[in-house]
């Protein structure tokens, strides 16, 4: 046991390694019991399209858990993050609501937008939680976890501090990890975490790609919001101790953002030495890929042309928001069912036939997808050394027993359906607290 009450991981994980020294741990965020369709994310077309519809929190959490179980059974280390406490009564009190918790919720119902912010379950998309610079890549040999400030969207702006507290507790006994506070919460430093970051590894080189949508203090080039700034990307690289030679910044194509690709991971996914990318994802894309090839001669890029799949189809199918997982047999694509049919499905089949992919698996993640979150949004990749993995609490990692326990909590407490009237039901508030306690206990025991 550690001082924080976390038992250490002593069992030997079946580890699939990216290279000899690092293990790519997949860390998924679990949907919370307040999962709802608030229509809170401008520029995220799915969020806008589903605003106000009844949500299904139990299904949201179970769908995410099914994906985690699948990855775990591949022998890939799968870890999880419990939900943040929502409704965020502390945040509502800072807005001037007072009285008992139930009174705060009842009063806040007269300000429905604030109530939606305070009950958002958007933390479930852990790709936005942080950017990870592994110990092998940083100049000080430490693993850096730089929490994202998510300042662009009001309902996500408090996640950074709260997730930082969780990661600090988690890593308390791991001397080689530094957890950084989110960048200052200002528009010039909009940071959305790993959704706009990718790590290419091959030919003895590592290159971190940071994709930004706008530059601070420069005229906007998009109709829909561009969340990540160039200045935030370079600040994250600095915090992570990346030498100048091992990272590059690339601008996301304004037309991709305006088609609904509010993060780069809606038009690109990479793993090791492979990139799957839409041909209109970046500004000066050909030049950027040439630069990458200079450092990574064996890089394989599957660039999907507009003729094969338009940007609009990329956004509706979420093909590029699939999760790529390295297994002993090859690269596995974990895709949303939305990408199974039609032109996206044909592209996946072609990539399997050509050996770019070993296999594809499709998951029904409808509740997350309806808010603009596909398989890749739900996971944060954390490359760790074997030693670091053994220093982390055992409760962080998923095994069958822990997955079963999480599932029982979900089935017991999460509502099948949720509408706006349910949010102010005192019994609902009590259930949310019970979930938080039960899941956190599981995470720390």
C-beta closer to ligand SUG: residue 232 or 438: 232
The reply to whether 242 sits near ligand SUG by the rule CB under 6 A is no
In the complex, minimum distance from the CB of residue 374 to ligand SUG, in angstroms, rounded to a whole number:
7
Q: Which stretch binds ligand SUG (CB under 6 A): 249-257, 258-266, 402-410, 414-422?
A: 258-266
SS3 359: strand
Q: Which stretch binds ligand SUG (CB under 6 A): 203-211, 261-269, 299-307, 359-367?
A: 261-269
- Options 192, 231, 313, 367, the catalytic residue: 192
Minimal CA–CA distance to 372: which of 153, 50, 57?
50
State phi, psi for 190 to the nearest 5 degrees: -60, 120
Residue 195 has, within 13 A of its CA and on its CB side, a CA count of 30
Cβ 229 vs Cβ 161: under 8 Å:
no
Give the count of residues interacting with ligand SUG (CB under 6 A): 23
The reply to whether 265 sits near ligand SUG by the rule CB under 6 A is yes
The reply to whether 263 sits near ligand SUG by the rule CB under 6 A is yes
Q: What does the longest C-alpha to C-alpha distance in the chain come to? A: 63
C-beta closer to ligand SUG: residue 339 or 438: 339
In the set 123, 125, 318, 443, which binds ligand SUG (CB under 6 A)? 125
- Options 144, 208, 263, 296, the catalytic residue: 263
The reply to whether 37 sits near ligand SUG by the rule CB under 6 A is yes
Cβ 56 vs Cβ 2: under 8 Å:
no
**In the beta sheet, which residues pair with residue 274?**
271, 300
Q: DSSP letters of 247-290?
A: EEEEEBPHHHHHTT--SGGGTEEEETTEEEEETTSBTTHHHHHH
In the complex, minimum distance from the CB of residue 318 to ligand SUG, in angstroms, rounded to a whole number:
9
Q: Is 377 a catalytic residue?
A: yes
- 80: part of which helix (H) or strand (E)? strand 78-81
Tell whether omega for the bond before 87 is within 30 degrees of 0, i.e. cis.
Answer: yes
C-beta closer to ligand SUG: residue 153 or 277: 153
The reply to whether 377 sits near ligand SUG by the rule CB under 6 A is yes
In the complex, minimum distance from the CB of residue 194 to ligand SUG, in angstroms, rounded to a whole number:
8
C-beta closer to ligand SUG: residue 195 or 382: 195
- Please, which residues have CB within 8 angstroms of residue 36's CB and are 6 or more apart in sequence? 55, 57, 116, 119, 120, 121, 418, 420, 423
In the set 29, 373, 375, 393, which binds ligand SUG (CB under 6 A)? 373
Give CA–CA dist 130/440, Å, rounded: 20
In the set 9, 17, 39, 289, which binds ligand SUG (CB under 6 A)? 39
Give CA–CA dist 245/254, Å, rounded: 26
The reply to whether 316 sits near ligand SUG by the rule CB under 6 A is no
In the set 183, 189, 195, 209, which binds ligand SUG (CB under 6 A)? 195
C-beta closer to ligand SUG: residue 125 or 362: 125
In the complex, minimum distance from the CB of residue 422 to ligand SUG, in angstroms, rounded to a whole number:
15
The reply to whether 225 sits near ligand SUG by the rule CB under 6 A is no
With vertex at residue 201, the alpha carbon angle to CA 294 and CA 209, rounded to the nearest 5 degrees, is 75
In the complex, minimum distance from the CB of residue 190 to ligand SUG, in angstroms, rounded to a whole number:
12
CA distances to 26, 121, 133, 176 from 106, rounded to whole Å, are 39, 19, 43, 45
**For residue 232, what are its two tokens?**
């935030």
Give CA–CA dist 39/299, Å, rounded: 39
In the set 127, 189, 224, 360, which binds ligand SUG (CB under 6 A)? 127
3-state SS string for 361-388: EEECCHHHHCCCCCCCCCEEEEEEEHHH
C-beta closer to ligand SUG: residue 77 or 373: 373
Minimal CA–CA distance to 44: which of 211, 263, 197, 229?
263
Q: Which stretch binds ligand SUG (CB under 6 A): 24-32, 122-130, 345-353, 412-420?
A: 122-130
Q: Which stretch binds ligand SUG (CB under 6 A): 124-132, 247-255, 268-276, 430-438?
A: 124-132
Residue entry with tokens 């600090």: 168
- Options 129, 271, 377, 389, the catalytic residue: 377
Give CA–CA dist 178/103, Å, rounded: 40
What is the pattern of x (binds ligand SUG, CB under 6 A) and - over residues 41-70? Answer: x--x--x-----------------------
The reply to whether 372 sits near ligand SUG by the rule CB under 6 A is yes
Q: Which stretch binds ligand SUG (CB under 6 A): 36-44, 182-190, 290-298, 408-416?
A: 36-44
SS3 216: coil
In the complex, minimum distance from the CB of residue 257 to ligand SUG, in angstroms, rounded to a whole number:
12
Task: Give contact residues for ligand SUG (rule: CB under 6 A).
Answer: 37-41, 44, 47, 120, 122, 125, 127-128, 153, 156, 195, 262-263, 265-266, 371-373, 377
Catalytic residues: 192, 263, 377
């Amino acid at each position: 046991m550690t001082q924080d009450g976390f038992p250490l991981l002593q069992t030997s994980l079946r580890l699939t390694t990216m290279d000899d020294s690092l293990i790519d741990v997949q860390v998924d965020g679990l949907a919370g019991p307040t999962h709802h369709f608030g229509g809170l994310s401008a520029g995220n077309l799915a969020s806008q399209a589903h605003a106000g519809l009844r949500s299904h929190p139990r299904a949201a959490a179970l769908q995410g858990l099914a994906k985690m179980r699948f990855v775990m059974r591949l022998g890939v280390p799968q870890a999880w993050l419990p939900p943040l406490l929502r409704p965020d009564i502390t945040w509502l009190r800072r807005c001037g609501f007072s009285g008992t918790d139930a009174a705060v919720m009842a009063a806040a119902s007269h300000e429905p937008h604030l109530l939606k912010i305070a009950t958002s379950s958007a933390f479930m998309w852990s790709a936005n939680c942080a950017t990870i610079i592994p110990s092998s890549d940083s100049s000080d040999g430490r693993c850096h976890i730089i929490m994202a400030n998510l300042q662009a969207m009001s309902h996500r702006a408090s996640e950074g501090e709260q997730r930082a507290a969780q990661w600090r507790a988690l890593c308390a006994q791991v001397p080689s990890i530094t957890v950084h506070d989110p960048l200052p919460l200002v528009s010039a430093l909009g940071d959305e975490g790993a959704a706009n970051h990718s790590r290419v590894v091959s030919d003895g080189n590592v290159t971190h790609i940071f994709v930004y949508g706008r530059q601070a203090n420069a005229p906007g080039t998009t109709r829909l919001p561009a969340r990540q700034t160039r200045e935030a990307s370079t600040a994250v690289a600095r915090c992570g101790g990346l030498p100048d030679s091992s990272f590059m910044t690339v601008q996301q194509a304004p037309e991709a953002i305006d088609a609904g690709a509010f993060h780069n991971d809606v038009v690109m996914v990479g793993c090791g030495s492979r990139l799957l990318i839409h041909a209109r994802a970046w500004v000066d894309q050909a030049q950027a890929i040439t630069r990458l090839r200079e450092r990574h001669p064996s890089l394989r890029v599957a660039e999907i042309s507009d003729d094969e799949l338009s940007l609009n189809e990329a956004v509706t199918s979420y093909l590029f928001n699939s999760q790529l997982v390295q297994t002993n047999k090859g690269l596995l694509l974990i895709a949303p069912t939305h990408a199974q049919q039609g032109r996206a499905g044909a592209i996946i089949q072609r990539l399997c036939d050509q050996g770019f992919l070993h296999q594809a698996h499709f998951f029904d993640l409808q509740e997350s997808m309806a808010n603009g979150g596909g398989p890749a949004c739900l996971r944060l990749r954390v490359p760790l050394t074997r030693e670091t993995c053994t220093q982390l609490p055992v409760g962080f990692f998923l095994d069958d027993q822990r997955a079963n326990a999480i599932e029982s909590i979900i089935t017991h407490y999460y509502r099948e359906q949720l509408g706006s009237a349910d949010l102010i039901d005192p019994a609902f508030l009590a259930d949310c607290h019970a979930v938080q306690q039960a899941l956190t206990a599981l995470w720390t025991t």
